[in-house]
Structure 1
Amino acid sequence: MTDGAVATKDVGETRMFAGFEWMLAGRYLRSRRRETFISVIAGFSFLGIMLGVATLIIVMAVMNGFRGELLSKILGINGHLLIQPIGSELDDYDAVAARIENLEGVVFTLPFVEGQALVSGPSGAFGALVRGVRGVDLRKLPLVADTVTAGTLDGFDEGGGLAIGTRMARQLGVAVGDRITVVSPRGNVTALGVTPRVKGYPIIAIFEIGMSEYDGTIAFMPLPEAQLYFNQEGIATGIEVFTEDPDLVGELRPKVEEGAGRPTFVSDWRTRNMTFFSALEVERNVMFLILMLIVIVAALNIISGMTMLVKDKGRDIAILRTMGATRGAILRIFVITGASIGIVGTIAGFLLGFVVCLNIESIRLAISWMTRTELFSPELYFLSQLPAEMDTGETLFVVVMAMVLSLLATLYPAWRAARLDPVEALRYE
């Protein structure tokens, strides 16, 4: 009697997550002929977790990359702050730009003249935004200066030509050295009214920013020539201000307004693109919530599979209890069984998502080649390549969330298994 009591005490004091618990959990995960249906459910749960995590990581990475690329392109061409005159023309733009450029946090300033025009070439005519800038300022824009695919920006001020994007060059059917005609409605004032101004310009450089809207609509012209062409001699439309940190424009804005030394209206990039980036943020949050439902459904599959496994293993549970296994041991066996599906599926989903994100552009090109369709049209999505940027914190949150959901999904079936009465389970055996 004493030996039996000691034996029972030894069994009851078995340490948590002992080897036999892992062994039984592993055997329950392996398929047998009588348990094929349960194993199929476990397999689908594994696939659901893996695909849900992978899809969530991939979509969030693409959304982050899309926003990051658009932000870098927009802020690479347009200044972080825009200064426009109030009350009088901006004829002292050189002095204003010099004062602002001396402020702490300002990298450089870019005075410009801007106007809408119609550009025409051998292949047709299209609307364009003609921006007059100084050659030295244009070379400070890496998105333009470092992406010139044909021609050169050397002697831009003296050349009297235009620098256009690759998309505009293809639409107009021109190359470096060819001439295009620029038509502006704001021309000479005559007795019959204002006549359009028509003038031909040679193409001296072709750049490729990688954003279809800019590559197809912007043409850079020397500042003095643009002032003459748009009837703004000695006047600038505004001054773009490029700062060290775009996220700190709110703190720098009052200093810029004061440093201008004249009445001006100052707007930052967040105000000018508020609608666009707000729409992107809403879309990103909605996509996250929708795709998270995939992981939740996969976790529910774990509950159903584990519940069926508990019912099927009722006799085994009863025998284990009569042999001295505690309720805690039974609970841990089924927690290990269910959690293994979720954790392994989460890790596999993370690896799949990571590999896809690294090769997202190659995968897109391969699918486009096989289906003979364009999956990522630059006309619709602005960018010429599909970007993917994995955020460490966000990816870690997805992985932890999937693991926690998988663990929670096993608790109820495991609790039912631990509460099983051995007498009731063996009564009809």
Structure 2
Amino acid sequence: MFNAFERAVAFRYLRTRKGERFVSITALFSLVGITLGVATLIIVTSVMNGFRQDLMARIIGLNGHLTVQPERGRTLEDPQAILARLNGIAGLVQAAPAVEGQVLVTGPGGGAAAAQLRGLPPEALRARPVIRRGLRLGDLAEFGAEDTVVVGARLAARLRLMPGDTLTVVLPQARGGDFTAAPRQRSLRMVASFDMGMPEYDGRTIFVPLATAQSLFGLGEAVNQVEILLADPSRVAPVTAELRAALAGQGLRVADWQNANSSIYAAVLVERQVMFLILTLIVVVAAFNIVSSLTMLVKDKGRDIAILRTMGAPRGAVLRIFILCGATIGCGGTLAGFALGLGVAANFPALRRGLAWLEETGLFGAELRFLMQLPSVIEVRDVAVIVATGFGLSLLATLYPSWRAARIDPAEALRHG
């Protein structure tokens, strides 16, 4: 596309010469602006991806990726029949019957709090990665014995509970006749506590063995729902369709984690898109700097352009020379930003350790601690879009100044040069 003559002239124009320092400094600022804009986009997008995945992993890791619930009524009378229908579906990691309900919890010191009680088979709870990673006190090996319970760390702290302590679970549902009505209650022994890092779950969730929950709510062998974990949560749509086909005609409803947490999921996606748009403006501003620096270069080289034209250089050659000048600045900055952004995003854990000493000074406190805990996930598609945007804006920024350079009249430029 560019011959040797055009490349030689373009790179000569980009080199700093005496009396041309201002043009070169402007070009350098344009290069740095594109570099920082592209790098910032890659870093922030990667952090937002990591934040979204971490948030969704915490939420759906606790509640399941899919749930099978009755369309009418409150219970599933034969959960084993449902589990048998799920055996042939690919991508399922775990399917477990579950019981869920609201209870009032009182501690040994007299404190009380509302809680979400969830009953799961012991092996199903132990297999949840979010519970294993978040285990703070106690041992999950004891979970499954009669009347044992695993409590969220914030709820345990509020009720001043430690492993081995006894708490009382009270149901609003009454028992007895009109004159003997009393709330249903049960004493449970705490064996462990977990901390997911999300107060809305750590402060109000308790887990009990499935048999305990069924007995507490008087369900017999029935359950509220069947919870399903997938190997790849992003494939929830095709698996949901397959599940609905397998359970058709059974009076069952299949809900996925995206619909169940639609408000949170939509908020994270909107925030990510708005952040991408705002940071893209940095690259746009840097592209305008390319326009200004290239315009000054064309004005400064007006006499040289006229001489090139009188020596036989066609307008197309002049156009390509200045396109190459601008593209070298813009595309060079995009490549530098790509390398810088990818390097920072890929080495976020190492950077956290490097910033650890700042936390000890106490100058940045909670803000720095939050920054150091942010995850980073690089997605090839996002990086490709950012780099393509940088290249595209850089090339567009060169068109008008280059066209103006190609339109210069040699006679007028020499007369007034």
- TM-score by structure 2 length? 0.85
More displaced stretch, 69-78 vs 43-52: 69-78
Q: How does 1:349-428 map to 2 (within 5 A)?
A: 349-360=337-348, 366=355, 369=359, 371-375=363-367, 385-428=373-416
More displaced stretch, 65-74 vs 118-127: 118-127
Residue 184 of structure 2 is aligned to residue 205 of structure 1:
no
RMSD: 3.2
One-letter identity of the residue aligned with 1:83: V
CA offset at residue 292 of structure 1? 1.9
Structure 1: stretches of 5+ with no match in the other structure: 1-14
* Pick aligned residue for 1:331 from 307, 312, 319: 319
The whole-number CA distance in structure 2 between the counterparts of 1:326 and 1:376 is 58
**Aligned position for 2:236:** 246
One-letter identity of the residue aligned with 1:222: P
The whole-number CA distance in structure 2 between the counterparts of 1:82 and 1:191 is 37
The whole-number CA distance in structure 1 between the counterparts of 2:351 and 2:366 is 12
More displaced stretch, 45-54 vs 101-110: 101-110
**Aligned position for 1:53:** 38
CA contact (8 A) 1:53 1:402 kept: yes
Change (3 A) 1:96 1:155: farther
Change (3 A) 1:166 1:351: farther
CA contact (8 A) 1:97 1:109 kept: no
Residue 273 of structure 2 is aligned to residue 288 of structure 1:
no
Question: Secondary structure at the residue paired with 2:292?
Answer: helix
Change (3 A) 1:235 1:40: same
More displaced stretch, 117-126 vs 239-248: 117-126
**Aligned position for 1:39:** 24
CA contact (8 A) 1:81 1:249 kept: no
* Pick aligned residue for 2:13 from 9, 28, 37: 28
CA contact (8 A) 1:82 1:266 kept: yes
CA contact (8 A) 2:86 2:246 kept: no
CA offset at residue 361 of structure 1? 5.6
CA offset at residue 57 of structure 1? 1.5
Instruction: Render the CA deviation track for 1:50-84: whole Å, top value 9, x for unaligned.
Output: 12212222222222222222333333222333222
One-letter identity of the residue aligned with 2:205: I
**Aligned position for 1:3:** none
Change (3 A) 1:253 1:296: same
More displaced stretch, 407-416 vs 98-107: 98-107
CA offset at residue 289 of structure 1? 2.4
Instruction: Render the CA deviation track for 1:156-191: whole Å, top value 9, x for unaligned.
Output: 221522123444444444433334444443354464
**Aligned position for 1:7:** none
CA contact (8 A) 1:52 1:294 kept: yes
The count of aligned residue pairs is: 408
The whole-number CA distance in structure 1 between the counterparts of 2:71 and 2:401 is 71
One-letter identity of the residue aligned with 2:27: A
Question: Secondary structure at the residue paired with 2:97?
Answer: strand
Change (3 A) 1:144 1:93: farther
The whole-number CA distance in structure 1 between the counterparts of 2:388 and 2:256 is 37
* Pick aligned residue for 1:314 from 289, 302, 308: 302
One-letter identity of the residue aligned with 1:69: D
Residue 277 of structure 2 is aligned to residue 298 of structure 1:
no
The whole-number CA distance in structure 2 between the counterparts of 1:355 and 1:319 is 45
Q: How does 1:168-207 map to 2 (within 5 A)?
A: 168-189=155-176, 191=178, 195-197=182-184, 199-207=186-194
* Pick aligned residue for 1:114 from 100, 114, 127: 100
One-letter identity of the residue aligned with 1:310: V
Structure 2: stretches of 5+ with no match in the other structure: none
Residue 57 of structure 2 is aligned to residue 72 of structure 1:
yes
Residue 256 of structure 2 is aligned to residue 268 of structure 1:
yes
CA contact (8 A) 1:17 1:332 kept: no
* Pick aligned residue for 2:216 from 225, 229, 232: 229
CA contact (8 A) 1:47 1:345 kept: yes
Change (3 A) 1:390 1:384: same
CA offset at residue 303 of structure 1? 0.8
Change (3 A) 1:213 1:316: same
Percent of residue pairs identical: 44
The whole-number CA distance in structure 2 between the counterparts of 1:87 and 1:399 is 52
Question: Secondary structure at the residue paired with 1:176?
Answer: coil
Question: Secondary structure at the residue paired with 1:390?
Answer: coil
The whole-number CA distance in structure 2 between the counterparts of 1:262 and 1:334 is 70
Instruction: Render the CA deviation track for 1:274-312: whole Å, top value 9, x for unaligned.
Output: 233223323323332232222122111111111111111
CA offset at residue 102 of structure 1? 2.8
One-letter identity of the residue aligned with 1:237: N
Change (3 A) 1:154 1:264: same
Change (3 A) 1:189 1:360: farther
CA contact (8 A) 1:21 1:329 kept: yes
The whole-number CA distance in structure 1 between the counterparts of 2:180 and 2:24 is 84
CA contact (8 A) 2:142 2:191 kept: no
Change (3 A) 1:187 1:388: farther
The whole-number CA distance in structure 1 between the counterparts of 2:85 and 2:143 is 25
Change (3 A) 1:91 1:335: closer
More displaced stretch, 109-118 vs 193-202: 193-202
One-letter identity of the residue aligned with 2:211: P
